[in-house]
Amino acid sequence: MAKIKTAVITGMHGYDVVGFQNMFRQIPEIDFYPQHLEDFAGDRDHGRQDYEVVR
């Protein structure tokens, strides 16, 4: 089964990083990539188009 390459945007508030990442890693259909909001928004030339879903 192919996984859906998913960028999950984070930032602007604190959160349980380990718990958040573990939650997404338990979904077998998702290839999870956490992305900080400012880094993701500022990356105009690299990688953003590689994701199938941005959440």
The count of domains in the chain is 1
Nearest CA-CA partner of 4 in 33, 35, 31: 31
Q: Give this prediction's pTM.
A: 0.73
The tens digit of pLDDT for each residue in 1-55 reads 789 999 999 888 888 999 999 999 999 999 988 888 888 888 776 677 788 888 7
Range of the domain at 16: 4-54
The four Cα atoms 13, 33, 30, 2 give a dihedral, to 10 degrees, of 170
Mean pLDDT over the full length of the chain: 86
The tens digit of pLDDT for each residue in 28-43 reads 999 988 888 888 888 7
d(CA 22, CA 39): 22
Question: Cα Rg for the chain, rounded, in angstroms?
Answer: 12
CB 31 within 8 A of CB 7: no
